[in-house]
Amino acid sequence: MTLPETAALIRVLADNKHQLGLRYAAWATGAPTLEAATAAAAMAQAELGHARALLPLLRSTPASPTDVAAEDRPPEHYAGLLEAPLASWTQFVAVNALFDAALTTIVAALLDSSYAPLRGRAQKILAEEQYHAAHGAGWLRRLGQAGAPAQAALGQAVADIWAETLCLFGPDQDPLLGTLHRAKVIAAGAAELRKQYLGQAQPLLAAAGLPAPPADRLPWERWDSIRRRLR
């Protein structure tokens, strides 16, 4: 028997990946280089594929509406930073390098999940996310070292998504991840996952010549615990 909280986490991952895939796809014809456009298209296909791989798991979880696993269901539980198209390549890079990596941090914590179907999906997703991480890190460093205007624009793009990216894990005592951690569905709770993520994100930002924004003043008063996003 799987927990209702398992379905909630799967839905958040699937909806975020679906929406991320759409945002990546929009840059398949607008990236600054042909190589970057090809990468955007490939990453879009991968993210949409991850969503399609996760959704069928909802059919075997309790308390899931009958249509929740449908691929044509409009996604609802995704971060507000994915609500609108990414307006610039700099925004694309910030989302690719930082928000995509936050999703991957959660997926990595599912590799030894007590829910076997989720373990298998996590392994496949992580293998494909290695390329996304390399692409994001490379472009983050490239823009950060491209001169003061480019670095300033990148810093603003990072600041714009930073709070919502860190809030993806939930508050330190998040009941959803806490329940899943105790049930060994996920390897860590919200506070530990956020700490792991910061340990990866801060060196990436430093390599781009950017200081990491504060991580201890997050707007939890705007936190929507159902949709797992900021209002």
In this predicted structure, what is the pLDDT of residue 183? Answer: 97
pLDDT of residue 1: 47
- 4-230 CATH choice from 1.20.1260.10, 3.90.1300.10, 1.10.10.10, 3.40.640.10: 1.20.1260.10
Low-confidence stretches of the chain (pLDDT beneath 70):
1-2, 61-74
Query: Phi then psi for 167, rounded to 5 degrees?
Result: -75, -15
Task: Give the separation between CA 101 and CA 62, rounded to whole angstroms.
Answer: 29
Closest by Cα among 26, 49, 50, 21 to 37: 26
The answer to whether the CB of 140 falls within 8 A of the CB of 207 is yes
Structure tokens at 66: 């009958």
Q: Give me the phi and psi of 224, to 5 degrees please.
A: -100, 105
Which CA distances in Å does 191 have to 110, 130, 205? 16, 24, 21
Number of CB atoms found within 10 A of residue 213's CB: 15
Note the pTM of the prediction, 2 decimals.
Answer: 0.93
Buried b (16+ CB within 10 A) or exposed e, 49-62: ebbeebbebbeebe
